[in-house]
Structure 1
């Protein structure tokens, strides 16, 4: 494991249009490093915290058959313990052997450039605090359950893991070009809210779906949302909401397709996006059926 960056004063990211200060302790007595990583303060978790994680895990795992993609279901046991919040180092022993990735603790949401840089170096930032019992059914910002249960199993899939690294590498360039916000929409509609077509039907692979008991059914089974074949320009033009189920989902055929989509230089896409208008959530363009 690399030596952590030196401790520094860091500024939390602001999520969406909220005026509420971001959750998480970004000082930690100087324990947060310049790259926003920090030690997982596992000893600070209370019995109630572990019970919340256990209940969330049990409820969500019961929803997966017929809704989650095969790769996710296959990898979920690699998280290890189910009855408490796992220690990150325990997961890393298995994850690094599988795909060369590791998870690193962060105090909460972090700005785009440190986020992209961590991904480019095969390090996935995991928020280490957990929601309160009264937030059991819904939380706006990602917590340790969302990040561990939703994201980490997919990093055990070699092709998907390579896609996330390539996304991070492209994100560094997008930041330099002032296009980070547009590229973030691709992350939202793939890593967070992506659907994949399997031989037995549509399934979820996005963490925002897989960690939400309500959205899992909505995304895969409901007739309400539009489901569109993934097109890079279309996805990066499409706005999204953070406080309701998605109105649009983008569908891929396999993870190799997703990886190949990120191979070309995105500069022409960013140039096109400068003059093309954004598309509101739930709006179909001419020729789109919304039934991919």
Structure 2
């Protein structure tokens, strides 16, 4: 029967992906035979470009984990990745036709299953694709699932997401995901580095997020991140910086329910705002 497509934000066209293939939990089989040689070439070129940009910009934890992703010259088979990933952290990746609703997304994460879109962008979208494709999901997200701390944090986020859904607080929690797993920075010995998938899979934002004087870089505070709006169509104007991956797991142990109640009464903060007393961190 399949599922209905999902739309986040404003769009002039329906979401890409064949949702008629989706099971009740929105997962589907990776249709590996459907990939063309042009698709494999797009993946190879994207991988080579991003890999070359990583030194001095990406978190060392990400650089160390990237080889575990496997094939660089063609789209990898999910079962090949899963053989390594399950042994490392007990996670597996599952194919989905595109964006999926919040509760099914949280449920998969809570069960250590990471949804990966199985289609790849067209050649003319090489530099920018509107929706996350297989390259963004595999290259940006999956390597750090081999890191035990991040693996535990993302599962805890999924569990917290299910609770947030019951409390009507998904928007507040989604900003934590955006400013950590998608667009997070970490301070390492060499300075600020990127660990967020949205940064790591972007050729332009990787250098911008780490080296540009334009954006605000702030120490990660949960309340500040939950109140801060974000950009979906430009580079971020604010990034939040952690001191260690363990800091994320420590945050996940917080009882968010009182925080949600407190923040419902607080105004949101513009994506480019710097509050009185705040000082941006140097790159």
In structure 2, the residue matched to 1:230 is 220
Of residues 191, 201, 208, the one that matches 1:218 is 208
CA distance in 1 between partners of 2:159 and 2:168 (Å) = 15
Question: Residue by residue, what CA displacement relative to the aligned partner does 1:4-53 show, whole Å, maximum 9, x if unpaired?
Answer: xxxx532222121224211111003xxx1110000000000000000000
**Is residue 2:139 matched to residue 1:149?**
yes
The TM-score, its normalising length taken from structure 2, stands at 0.98
SS in 1 for 2:19: coil
Deviation of 1:276 (Å): 0.5
- For the 8 Å contact 1:195–1:206, the answer to whether it is kept is yes
- 1:131-170: per-residue Cα shift (whole Å, max 9, x none)? 0000000012100000000000010000011000000000
> 1:15 touches 1:22 (CA, 8 Å); kept in 2?
no
Partner residue of 1:27 out of 20, 23, 27: 20
Aligned-pair CA distance for 1:289: 1.4
Aligned-CA RMSD value: 0.9
Deviations 1:213-257 (A, max 9, x none): 000000001111000000111101111111100000000000111
**Quick one: distance in 2 between partners of 1:61 and 1:187?**
24
The residue that corresponds to 2:74 in the other structure is: 84
Shift of 1:272: 1.4
Report what 1:9 is aligned to.
Answer: 2
| 1:167 correspondence with 2:157 | yes
Q: Secondary structure at the match of 2:217?
A: strand
1:190-205 alignment runs, 5 A limit: 190-205=180-195
Partner in structure 2 of residue 65 of structure 1: 55
What residue in structure 1 maps to residue 97 of structure 2?
107
Shift of 1:182: 1.2
| Residue in structure 2 matched with residue 36 of structure 1 by the alignment | 26
Which secondary structure state, in structure 2, belongs to the residue aligned with residue 62 of structure 1? Answer: helix
CA distance in 1, matches of 2:34, 2:189: 44
Partner of 2:247 in structure 1?
Answer: 257
More off after superposition, 13-22 vs 74-83: 13-22
Please say if residues 140 and 242 of structure 1, whose CA atoms lie closer than 8 Å, have aligned partners that are also in contact.
no
Unaligned runs of 5+ in 1: 1-7
CA deviation digits over 1:53-97, x for unaligned, max 9? Answer: 000000000000000001110111111111100000000000010
Residue from 51, 71, 84 that aligns with 1:94:
84
Instruction: Show the counterpart of 1:4.
Output: none
**TM-score of the two chains, using structure 1 as the length reference:** 0.95
Give unmatched runs, 5+ long, in structure 2: none
Please give the alpha-carbon distance, in whole angstroms, between the structure 1 residues aligned to 2:5 and 2:255: 30
SS state of the match for residue 202, structure 1? strand
Q: 2:269 aligns with which of 251, 276, 279?
A: 279
Runs of 4+, deviation exceeding 4 Å = none
Which of 24, 47, 64 aligns to 2:37? It is 47
SS of residue paired to 1:105? strand
Contact 1:63–1:213, Cα closer than 8 Å, also in 2: yes
Residue matched to 1:242: 232
